[in-house]
Amino acid sequence: MAKKNNPDGNTQHIGDAIQHLLSSFHIKSKFDEANLIASWERLTGKPIAKRTKKLYIRGKVLFVELESPSMKNDLNLHKRQIIEILQKEFGSEVISEIVLM
């Protein structure tokens, strides 16, 4: 955790303080998972998000239930790229695989 240089030495960036708090309560992974799910539309776009029926994470695996079999097929072709985008945004500790349903 990077602390700012100041006379009392107790000041830190709010983002660092939140990350420390999440880690100390062992809820950082759940926070990151919820953040990923909340960011699904922003990261994948409105057309994919509109056709997504259900989205959840279990054991670093993102499960995506889609309305359209053709959308499932298209996403299956680009699964590796989607994983890379999500890992770049949230880190590799959040998800390692995607299952399209």
Distances (CA, A) of 3 to 16, 18, 19, 28, 53: 9, 13, 13, 20, 43
Taking the whole predicted model, whether its pTM rises above 0.95 is answered as no
The residue range of the domain holding 44 is 27-100
CATH of the domain at 70: 3.30.70
pLDDT tens digits, one per residue of 12-60: 899 888 888 878 887 888 888 899 999 999 999 999 999 999 999 999 9
Q: Please write down the HEC assignment for all residues of the chain.
A: CCECCCCCCCCECHHHHHHHHHHHCCCHHHHHHHHHHHCHHHHHCHHHHHCEEEEEEECCEEEEEECCHHHHHHHHHCHHHHHHHHHHHHCCCCCCEEEEC
Q: Is residue 86 part of a domain?
A: yes
The letter for the amino acid at 12 is Q
- Which residues share a beta bridge with 55? 64
Q: Is residue 21 part of a domain?
A: no
pLDDT tens digits, one per residue of 15-27: 888 888 878 887 8
Give backbone dihedrals phi and psi of 26, rounded to 5 degrees, phi first: 55, 40
Q: Is residue 5 part of a domain?
A: no
